[in-house]
Amino acid sequence: MDPVFTDHEIEELNARFEHEDAREILRWALVDSDLERVGVASSFQAEGTCVIDMAAKLRPDVPILFLETGFHFAETLAFKEQLAERLGLNVVDLVGEHTVESQAAAHGERLYERNPDLCCQLNKVEPFTQALHGYDAWVTALRRDSSPSRSGIPILEQYRLEPGRSMVKLNPVANWTRREAWDYLRENDLPHNPLYDLGYAQVGCAPCTRMVFLGEDERAGRWDGSQKVECGIHVHTPAGGAASA
């Protein structure tokens, strides 16, 4: 299947979007472009809440794709419910082949400690990749300044779902700072996950997230003690297909 946009078109759109307001980038994706099936991937973090708010104002029924790994903090799940109710969101929970219990039976307890790549593969990469087959484009809340591994992300990119199947990945707040995200929340009277108030800078699955200390990188609390920096859904090989990084 041909890509939705050619590499040249992506290049031109990136030149146009680099200094564009995030709301206008989302307006292009959700209202003006020919993209019919667009989903917003979110774990309901601060910048994700901003993107959800902007997207839902443009298209109230836009699917919000949430990876329900079974390992989230209770606070995250409660916050997700709170925001969904308040904004009337169309949240789609994505689940892998295992429950927490069946994963423990198949692969042993605490797989996230022994083999976090496999745990992410089972609970994030596989269900997410499967769900993406129903979309032409997906939207993230990635920010370049959140970590070195994200410093080079473009606003718009080809996402090669599998060999012969491309889609569009849109990072409308790529050039936002952390401060801009929190300013947006404040200006729009939006709530945040209460874990931020306890010292968490980023919030992922509970076993793989710790608070950060003064002076640490904001993603230092993710998969602490391992070389892992991404769950895998944001990493894909040039030849196609999601990698299990």
Our finding on whether 204 is near ligand SF4 (CB under 6 A) is yes
Our finding on whether 231 is near ligand SF4 (CB under 6 A) is yes
- The stretch among 18-26, 57-65, 195-203, 205-213 that binds ligand SF4 (CB under 6 A) is 205-213
Our finding on whether 4 is near ligand SF4 (CB under 6 A) is no
The rounded distance, in Å, linking the Cα atoms of 163 and 22 is: 30
Q: What binding mask, one character per residue, do residues 111-130 give for ligand SF4 by CB under 6 A, x or -?
A: -x---x--xx--xx------
- Residue with token string 């169309």: 90
The angle at the Cα of 184, spanning 183 to 185, to the nearest 5 degrees, equals 90
**Which lies closer to ligand SF4 via its Cβ, residue 38 or residue 205?**
205
Please answer whether residues 43 and 66 qualify as being in contact, where contact means their C-beta atoms are separated by less than 8 angstroms: yes
Tokens of 97: 């082949």
Our finding on whether 69 is near ligand SF4 (CB under 6 A) is yes
**Which lies closer to ligand SF4 via its Cβ, residue 74 or residue 239?**
74
Name the residue whose CB lies closest to ligand SF4. Answer: 205
**Which lies closer to ligand SF4 via its Cβ, residue 27 or residue 72?**
72
Our finding on whether 30 is near ligand SF4 (CB under 6 A) is no
CA dihedral 71, 76, 81, 86 (to 10 degrees): -160
- Candidates 90, 24, 32, 47; CA nearest to 201 is 47
Q: How far is the CB of 119 from ligand SF4 (least distance, A)?
A: 3
**Which lies closer to ligand SF4 via its Cβ, residue 231 or residue 242?**
231
State yes or no: is 231 an active-site residue. yes
Q: How far is the CB of 203 from ligand SF4 (least distance, A)?
A: 11
The active-site residue, picked from 120, 205, 208, 231, is 231
Q: How far is the CB of 123 from ligand SF4 (least distance, A)?
A: 4
What separation in angstroms does the CA of 117 have from each of 25, 137, 243? 33, 25, 10
Angle between helices 178-187 and 46-58 in degrees, nearest 10 = 50
Q: For the beta carbon of residue 136, count every other beta carbon within 10 angstroms.
A: 17
The residue ranges that bind ligand SF4 (CB under 6 A) are: 69, 71, 112, 116, 119-120, 123-124, 204-205, 207-208, 231
Q: Active-site positions?
A: 231
